[in-house]
C-alpha cells in the first residue's frame, strides 16, 4: 500500500480509518461480513485490467485464456458447493443478478408475487422506487400480525394471494426475514397457478451451502444470490439452477431455430442483457471464496453463525425485547423497539456512538417511515468470522441493552465504547499492514 499512501494520501487515509473501524468495533449489520486475506488478494490483482465479454472459451476479446481458467474454476466450485447443474458467476451484484431474472422471465407489465418490503422483502422484489416495481406489476404476500404464525409467512395465505392475482412469477427471499422457507410448498403453489419460481438466497446462501438451512435448488426454477453476506466472499452476485430445461416461451436460436435452454436465456440476460464486461478480478475472488466454502471449517462456521444468532435472539427476549417471529432460523434477528419507546433511527445512532454497528429497519406493520423505522436488524455473520461464540453474543446484547436503556447518555456510550474495544481486541480481525 506504500504506492497508494504516497500518491493519494487522502484515499489512503479513508482506507486506514475504515480498517481501524472494522477492527475496533462490533459489526452486526446482517448483510456484511469480513473476507479472508486470500479473497482480498485475489481482488487486488491485474485481472482487473482484462476485458472478457462473453463466456469462457466464447469471448468477444482475445487474450482471455487465463481469465477463462479463473471463471471456469468459479463455475465448477459453485456447482459442487450448491449441487447444481448450471451457474453464471458474472453478475456484478445481487441486484444485477435479479435484473437478469426479471429480463428473462417477465415482460414489462407482467404480474409477479413477492414478499412485501415492509415485511422483510428486498428492494428488487417489487419496491415502487426500484426497476422491479417500476417496470412490472408487483403483488405482495406478507407475514402474520398475530397468532401462532406471528411474524412468519402463512403458506395458505400465499396460495390464496397467488390464486387471486395469477402471477407469472413468484419470488421468495428477503432482506429481513429470520425464518427458513418452505420451498416445496412454494413450488406447489407456483405449479398450481402456472408461475415460475425464483429464490433470491442472497442472505442465507452460506447457510444453505453448508446444509444448515433448507435447499431451494431442487424446487426453484432459478436461484440468485450475492457472494458476500453469509457466503463470505467478495461483493458480487451469481445465478444458479438445480435443473436446466427448455424455455417455455418458445424462444429459439436465431440461426438453427432450435428451442433455447433456460441457461442460455439467463446467460444472455446477464450479458449483453443487463451488463457489459465481467469483473475478472472479482470473479477470481469469488472462486477463492467458493473454495473456502467447500471446506469442513466453513460448515463449522455456518453452524456457529446460526447458533450465535439464536443466542442473540434468546438474550434479547430475556431482556424484554420484541423479537419478530419469536426467534431466528438463520443469521439475522429483527427487533421491534416500540415496546421500549425507541425508534430504529434513535437506536442506530446511539449504538453507533458506542461503536456497535446495526441498521435501522422496518418491521412488519410499522407505523414509522423508512427513514425512521420502528426496529433494528442485526446479524451474526461478521462477528462469527472474528470468532465470537454464544457467550460473546450474550455479552454483546448486554452492551446493546445498556446503551438503549439510556440512548441519549453520552457517558454510557463512552463507557460502552471502551468495553466494545476490549471485546474487539479479544477477537482480532486482520493483521493488515497498510504501510
Report, in angstroms and rounded to the nearest whole number, the Rg of the chain calculated over CA atoms: 22
* Residue 329 annotated as catalytic: no
Catalytic residue among 104, 226, 230, 416: 226
How far apart CA 110 and CA 112 sit, in angstroms, is 7
Specify whether 301 is catalytic: no
Residues 16, 32, 53, 180: which is the catalytic one? 53
Is 183 catalytic? The answer is no
- Cα–Cα distances (Å) from 273 to 54, 55, 125, 215, 305, in that order, read 11, 14, 19, 28, 36
CA–CA gap between residue 349 and residue 60 (Å, rounded): 49
C-alpha cell at 349: 445512532
Q: Do 191 and 201 contact (CB within 8 A), yes or no? A: no
307 noted as active-site residue: no
Catalytic residue among 27, 116, 139, 200: 200
235 is catalytic: yes
Considering 50, 179, 187, 229, which one is annotated as catalytic? 229
Residue pair 376/361 in contact (Cβ under 8 Å)? The answer is yes
CA pair distance 318, 386, nearest whole angstrom: 25
- The rounded distance, in Å, linking the Cα atoms of 252 and 268 is 13
The CA–CA distances, whole Å, from 222 to 105, 211, 219, 261, 366 equal: 10, 19, 9, 13, 31
Active-site residue, selected from the candidate residues 152, 232, 235, 377: 235
Q: Report d(CA 10, CA 173) in Å as an integer.
A: 39
Which residue is catalytic, options 16, 32, 51, 168? Answer: 51
CB 81 within 8 A of CB 290: yes
Active site residue 53: yes
Which are the catalytic amino acids?
A: 51, 53, 200, 226, 229, 235
Amino acid at each position: 500500500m506504500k504506492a497508494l499512501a504516497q500518491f493519494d494520501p487522502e484515499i489512503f487515509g479513508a482506507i486506514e480509518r475504515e480498517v481501524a473501524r472494522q477492527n475496533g468495533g462490533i459489526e452486526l449489520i446482517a448483510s456484511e461480513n469480513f473476507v479472508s486475506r486470500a479473497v482480498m488478494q485475489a481482488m487486488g490483482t491485474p485481472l482487473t485490467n482484462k476485458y472478457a465479454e462473453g463466456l469462457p472459451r466464447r469471448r468477444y476479446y482475445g487474450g482471455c485464456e487465463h481469465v477463462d481458467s479463473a471463471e471456469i474454476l468459479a463455475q465448477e466450485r459453485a456447482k459442487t458447493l450448491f449441487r447444481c447443474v448450471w451457474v453464471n458467476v458474472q453478475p456484478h451484484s445481487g441486484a444485477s443478478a435479479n435484473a437478469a431474472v426479471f429480463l428473462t422471465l417477465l415482460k414489462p407489465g407482467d404480474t409477479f408475487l413477492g414478499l412485501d418490503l415492509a415485511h422483510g422483502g428486498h428492494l428488487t422484489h417489487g419496491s415502487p422506487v426500484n426497476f422491479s416495481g417500476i417496470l412490472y406489476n408487483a403483488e405482495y404476500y406478507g407475514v402474520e400480525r398475530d397468532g401462532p404464525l406471528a411474524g412468519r409467512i402463512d403458506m395458505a395465505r400465499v396460495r390464496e394471494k397467488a390464486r387471486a392475482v395469477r402471477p407469472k412469477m413468484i419470488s421468495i427471499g428477503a432482506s429481513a426475514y429470520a425464518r427458513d422457507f418452505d420451498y416445496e410448498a412454494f413450488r406447489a403453489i407456483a405449479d398450481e397457478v402456472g408461475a415460475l419460481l425464483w429464490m433470491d438466497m442472497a442472505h442465507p446462501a452460506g447457510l444453505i451451502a453448508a446444509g444448515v438451512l433448507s435447499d431451494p435448488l431442487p424446487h426453484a426454477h432459478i436461484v440468485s444470490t450475492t457472494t458476500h453476506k453469509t457466503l463470505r466472499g467478495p461483493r458480487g452476485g451469481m445465478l444458479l439452477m438445480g435443473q436446466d430445461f427448455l424455455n417455455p416461451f418458445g424462444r429459439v436460436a436465431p440461426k438453427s431455430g432450435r428451442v433455447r435452454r433456460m441457461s442460455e436465456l439467463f446467460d444472455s440476460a446477464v450479458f449483453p442483457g443487463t451488463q457489459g464486461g465481467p469483473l475478472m478480478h472479482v470473479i477470481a475472488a469469488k472462486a477463492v471464496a467458493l473454495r473456502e466454502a467447500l471446506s469442513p471449517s466453513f460448515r463449522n462456521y455456518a453452524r456457529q453463525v446460526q447458533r450465535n444468532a439464536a443466542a442473540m435472539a434468546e438474550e434479547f427476549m430475556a431482556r424484554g425485547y420484541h423479537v419478530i417471529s419469536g426467534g431466528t432460523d438463520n443469521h439475522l434477528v429483527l427487533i421491534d423497539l416500540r415496546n421500549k419507546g425507541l425508534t430504529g433511527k434513535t437506536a442506530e445512532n446511539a449504538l453507533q456512538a458506542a461503536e456497535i454497528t446495526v441498521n435501522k429497519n422496518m418491521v412488519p406493520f410499522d407505523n414509522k417511515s423508512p427513514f425512521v423505522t420502528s426496529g433494528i436488524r442485526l446479524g451474526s455473520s461478521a462477528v462469527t468470522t472474528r470468532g465470537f461464540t454464544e457467550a460473546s453474543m450474550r455479552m454483546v446484547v448486554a452492551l446493546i441493552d445498556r446503551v438503549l436503556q439510556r440512548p441519549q447518555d453520552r457517558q454510557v456510550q463512552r463507557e460502552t465504547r471502551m468495553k466494545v474495544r476490549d471485546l474487539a481486541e479479544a477477537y482480532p480481525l486482520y493483521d493488515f499492514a497498510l504501510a
